[in-house]
Every structure is written in structure tokens, then in C-alpha cells.
Amino acid sequence: MSENRSKARHRRRKTALVAGVPLSLAAAGTMAYGTVVGVFGEDAVSRAAAAGPAWAAETADGFASVNALGQNGTYGGRGGKTVTVRTLADLEKYATAAEPYVIVVAATINMNPVGKEIKVASDKTIVGSGTSGHIVGGGFFLGSGVHNVIIRNLTIRDSYQGTWNDKDHDFDAIQMDGAHHVWIDHNDLRHMADGLIDSRKDTTYVTVSWNKLSQNNKTFGIGWTTNTTADLTIHHNWFRETEQRNPSTDNVAHAHLYNNFLEDVSGTGIASSYGNYARGNTRMVLENSYFQGMRNPVTKDSTAAVVQRGNVFSGTSGRNESGGTAFDPKKYYSYTLDRAADVPSLLKSGAGPRSSIGTTTTAKARAAAATTLTVAKDGSGQYTSVQRAVDAVPANNTSRVVISVKPGTYREVVKVPSNKPHVTIQGSGGSRKDTTIVYGNAAGMRKPDGSGTYGTPGSATMSIQSDDSQVRNLTVTNDFDEKANQSLSGHQAVALLTRADRIVLDGVIVNGDQDTLQLETAAKDKLGRVYVTNSYVTGNVDFIFGRATVVVDKSVITLKKRWNGTSAGYVTAPSTPANRKGILINRSTVNGDVSAGSFFLGRNWHPGGDTTVRPQATVRNSTLSAAIKSTPWTDMGGFSWKQDRFAEYDNRGPGAGSESGNRPMLTDAQAADQEVADWLAGWTPGA
């Protein structure tokens, strides 16, 4: 970004500051229960708790993620209001509503009458709060055409009426008749009068994952139709003490079962009749599952196809069948298999509702399944460069890959492309200073291939362009030498660039001069949230900038002198879209070895004279050194900062000041809408 901007015409804004502008989009977040105080601070506990668990906003994997039937994946009530329910009346009210909702069940709810199945409408997420969400004596019904529904982290139990093979009471936990795009995940389903899950009448694009299914006879039935159209993914489920339908799949076009654990414990009152059953014209791919003590673990009709790969059978007996030609699941979506031998321990600790989850997507119990790649300069790791490790990450990976970088200095450019989400680049040393990734490109430098100059984003030492990615416990530096390159036009030199959503920068040092930390989104109309915590960011000109929604929390912002020893600069340069939140600096310290009154907190960047943006920066609850000017905001490119959104709240230190026309302050009411939880909009960064 250039320090000097040409003037541009612009239209006048109506107000100098609009506090608490809501985000119109609440994109997917990570599964992170954790301690709310630890992430947000005590003043935000009630607000964050009311918003419910952040993983209520996640999107599905497997066939539920496939774009089809006019539905782009499965994301439930994302974008709708979040409500917490503790009564049957409230649960039914919101579950049957026409509008999208994220419904957090925070109590035991008894169905009345017993066997009642709430008729869930489209665009709903129903999620338990910790382990407290219980549905007793009934369940949910998803009728024809109902779509985009997520049911997670609930215990649904005890509609059993005393008859084991009950043919009179159709009391299911979850029944689906002609629905599509449904994700059933991390639930405890048990002891029902009929099925735990019934997926009937061409219900399709369904993913069932990380559930515990137990104490039941007719457990999980799929089909009840002569059509062969349904597509389902069933992975990482623990079937324990279930007699039949584990599952039974009847005329299913694509049934992908992997990493499930089917367990029949000897000496109990329940004995398995069969395990996975492919009926009719079903085509089934069955991979890396573990069958313990099951009778007839894999059964198929003569007309069905079952392809088995990598399964383990321990103490099983009876039919174990395969044959025919099925399909390649990777033609429809990406996935990562866990070793079959690891499945029992993985699911015993990870299936069912979670009370405290600090890692993303599949919980700490799945940490064993996360891939770790090691990098070491001395050759003691799998790779000698960070980029080679990134290159080894499979495209469209669905589970976290940790790139563990041993202490040392790695002089290289690192780019994590957009098709490799869930990547963590993490220094393995005892200090963030032990591992350094450094390079020295600048915007005005010509590329070695002669294709032009790098430009500002292209100068980045590290570029994170994939969602749900993290950088931890290391230093990222751009060491471009401005003094030695005064003849060069374009001194912008980015150390770290993000261009994605749900990015965590934790315990890092980001070093540079001009444009150190560039925080963007994948596109102007895309949401991009970044949480920077326990970190150091150094620079002098516009060194925290971009259009992303950013929280810099509990960090140190260090002001540096210019190449010629002078003190002058700008901390932030947001280019925020009008309907989004910009840069929030919270509970941090701004200091450095520079002259008093020499730095602005920020200026308003309208890229290319864009009149549609409304840059926003808020600095609150922070300590400001004497280096900060008494009028801390300034114009940029001919646009008046007063027509955009800049403010402070409850700062301290010699650089703090009182409210004036040139130093706006939030009111208490405005500040209540500009806390970390508001900024992150339903996403709780995972630990």
C-alpha cells in the first residue's frame, strides 16, 4: 500500500461513527467450547454464552457438503438468530419456524406426549449446550422437501415402551422422509421405541458423523423406497449394543461408510443380528471401520455391491461379504481416513456430545487423527522447508494438518493456498523467537520470471489463503531494506498476509516496516475474520491494514522509526466494506522507541478511490504510549476520516486522551456492541 495517495472524489457520509454495525453474514466457525472468559474476557461472558457454542455455525462434510438440489452444502441456521431454549414450547416454536435459527438446547426437555417428533423446518441448526441438551421420550421429524438442517451435540433418548421388537410405536430419535442436506453429528442416541435414525423415502445428501448409537434394536435404517437415488456418508460413529440396522441401507445409490466402530460386548442382554447391510441395489464403499464381536458384520444382497478396504474384524462371526463395483467417494468430496486400528480409542473418547472442545471441527478426541508434518533445517524432520510441507498437504483436506517447524531460521516464501484449509503452522521451540520465517520482497521489486512486480500482497513472506488456518509460536519477518533501496518505487513489504476466514494468529511475532500485517478476505463480498492474540506486531506505515474483520487482542503493537531514523507513521489502515466490522484493537499495548506525538492510530483507506467502503477501526481498553498523537486519526486519499468509522473507548496511558471532535469516543452503549464477541460474529477461535 502506498504511503502517498492521490486525491479522489467521494460522497459525504451521514455520520462520523456508526457503532455496532451488524454483520449480514455469520459464516462458519470452529468447534470451540472452551472457557468463554479465556477468549473474550469477563465483560463478554454473558454475551458470548447467549450466542451459543461457536461450532453451531459449522458446515457439513461428506455428501451433506455436496452442492445439489438447489442447496449449496449444509450449514443449517447460519445467518439466522441464535436462541437458547429450555422448554418444549420454545424448542418447537423455533424448530418449526420458517426463518433460519441456531437453536441451542440448554436443558433436559421431556416430550409430551411421549413419542412426539417435532416437525423441523428447513434452515435450522439444533445444537446442545455442552452436555446439557437432552431430548427425552421423542425426537425430530424432517418431512418431504425439508433441507439444510443440522442436529448436533444432543442426547436423544428413552422413548422405549417396554417391547424390544416394537411394531406399535414409531418413536424415533430422528426420522427423515424425503428430506435432503442433513448433518447429524456428535449426538448420543439411545433406547428408543423404534429407530435411532430412520432415513426414508429418498432422503439424500446426508452425513452422519461422530455419534454414539446404543441400547437399541432397529438402530439406523435407510431406504423404504424402490428408487435408487439417495447419497449418504456415515463416518466415525460408535454402534454399541445395537441388534440390527447398523445401518441397513436399502436401494442407496452411494453409501460411503468409513471409520465406524461396531461393538457387540459379550455377556450383555443385547446381541447383534448383523452389522452393515447392503440391500437391494445399494452401492456401498466400506473403509477402515472396526468390527468387534459382531455377528454377520458385513452382509449384502445378491443385487447389491459392497467394496471393502482396510477394515478390521476382531472376534466376529458369520457373514462377511463384499463384491461388485461401487464408486469413488473422492469424485464427490474429499475426506481423510483414520487408521482402522485407531478407531476404537478414537471413538470411545470422541463420539457423542462434547462438553469442552478446544480444537477445530472434530474435537480434541480427534487430535490423534490430525496429520502432523515436521520441518527441520538440519534434515531431522520430514521436510527441510515449510513450503514443501505445505505442498504435501492434500487439496481440499477435511481435517487439521499441523506443520510443526523446529527451531531455526527459514529463509523462504510460504503460501498456503485456498484449497488447503485447516492448516496450522506452528513453531516447536520453547519461544516464538526460536523459529523464524523470513524473506525480503517488496511491492516494487520485479519478479525473477520477468512477469512484473510483486505488488503489495505478492511481497508477503507468509500468505495464508485457506479458511480455518492458524499460525502459532513463531516469528514471521519481512526484512526488505528500505534504506538500501531508495530508488525503488514501492516499499510496501508485507510479512504476513491473510486472505481467508476464521484465521488464528496466536503467540506470533510479525516484523516489518511498511504494511507489515495485511488482513484481507478472499473476495470483496466474502467474510474474513482474523483473531490475533498474545502476539507482537511491529511496523511504521499502515502496518495493520486491509478489509478483513480483525481482532488484535492481548497483544503488543510496537512502533518503529523509519529507515532514516525519523518518527512518523500510522498503525492501522482499514478498508472495511460498509456492512462489516473492521479492525478492533482490544486489551493491547501500543508503544515503541519513537518520538512523542509522532504516530496516528490510523487512517481511512479507500482502495482506488472506492466510495462504497466505510473503513472502521476501534481501539479500546488498551494502553497507549506518548507516541500517539492527541488527534489520533487522519485522512487518506482525499477521504475524510470523520465520514468513516473511527473511535476509542476506555484507553489509558500517556497517549490516551479525552473526547473531542477530533477524538471520538464510544458511549457505554456503543461499546457494549463493539466487543470481541460482536466482532467475531458467532465464531469462537479454537485453542
Report pLDDT for 1: 63
What CA–CA distance (Å, rounded) separates 442 from 232? 49
SS3 content of the chain, % helix, strand, coil (to 5): 10, 35, 50
pLDDT at residue 265 above 50? yes
Give, as one character, the DSSP assignment of residue 389: H
Please classify residue 268 by burial: count the beta carbons closer than 10 Å to its beta carbon, then call 0-12 exposed, 13-18 middle and 19+ buried: exposed
- pLDDT of amino acid 549: 97
- The reply to whether omega before 685 is within 30° of 0 (cis) is no
Q: For residue 323, give the 3-state DSSP assignment.
A: strand
Given pLDDT bands bounded at 50, 70 and 90, which one contains residue 398? confident
Instruction: Tell whether the model's pLDDT for residue 17 goes beyond 90.
Output: no
Q: How confident is the model at residue 685 (pLDDT cuts 50, 70, 90)?
A: confident
pLDDT digits (tens, 9 = 90+) for 551-571: 999 999 999 999 999 999 999
> Which candidate in 245, 432, 499, 502 is catalytic?
245
> pLDDT tens-digit profile of 499-555?
999 999 999 999 999 999 999 999 999 999 999 999 999 999 999 999 999 999 999
Q: What is the pLDDT of residue 396?
A: 87
Owner of C-alpha cell 457439513:
60
Count of positions (residues) in the chain: 687
Q: Mean pLDDT throughout 76-89?
A: 92
Q: Please give the pLDDT value at position 681.
A: 85
The CA-based angle 513-518-523, given to 5 degrees, is: 160
Q: How confident is the model at residue 48 (pLDDT cuts 50, 70, 90)?
A: very low
Residue 33: pLDDT band (50, 70, 90) is very low
Contact (CB, 8 A) for 239 and 263 = yes
**In the predicted structure, residue 7 carries a pLDDT above the cut 60:** no
Return the number of other C-beta atoms located less than 10 Å from residue 366's C-beta: 22
Q: Residue 52 has what pLDDT?
A: 42
DSSP state of 181: E
Reply yes or no on whether the pLDDT at 248 is more than 60.
yes
Residue 6 has pLDDT above 60, yes or no: no
Element (H, E) at 51: helix 45-51
Residue pair 257/289 in contact (Cβ under 8 Å)? The answer is yes
Banded pLDDT at 263 (limits 50, 70, 90): very high
pLDDT(35) > 60 = no
Q: Is 673 exposed, middle or buried (0-12, 13-18, 19+ CB in 10 A)?
A: middle
Q: What percent of the chain has pLDDT over 70?
A: 89
Please count the other Cβ atoms lying within 10 Å of the Cβ belonging to residue 167.
9
Mean pLDDT of all residues in 592-606: 98
Task: Flag the least confident range among 36-45, 108-117, 182-191, 586-595.
Answer: 36-45
Q: Which of 520, 565, 521, 523 is nearest to 540 (CA)?
A: 565
Lowest-confidence segment of 52-61, 469-478, 627-636 by average pLDDT = 52-61
For the question of residue 157 being annotated catalytic, the response is: no
Report pLDDT for 264: 94
Residue 31 or 649, more confident: 649
**pTM of the predicted protein model:** 0.52
End-to-end Cα spacing for the chain: 32
Residues above pLDDT 90, as percent of the chain: 79
pLDDT value of position 334 = 87
Q: How many CB atoms lie within 10 A of CB 331?
A: 7
Q: Are 637 and 610 in contact (CB under 8 A)?
A: no
What would the grid cell of residue 484 be?
A: 538500501
Higher model confidence: residue 94 or residue 29?
Answer: 94
The answer, yes or no, to whether residue 367 has pLDDT greater than 60, is no
Mean pLDDT over 660-677 rounds to 94
In this structure, which amino acid lies at residue 136? V
Burial class (CB within 10 angstroms; exposed 0-12, middle 13-18, buried 19+) of 302? exposed
Q: Is 488 exposed, middle or buried (0-12, 13-18, 19+ CB in 10 A)?
A: middle
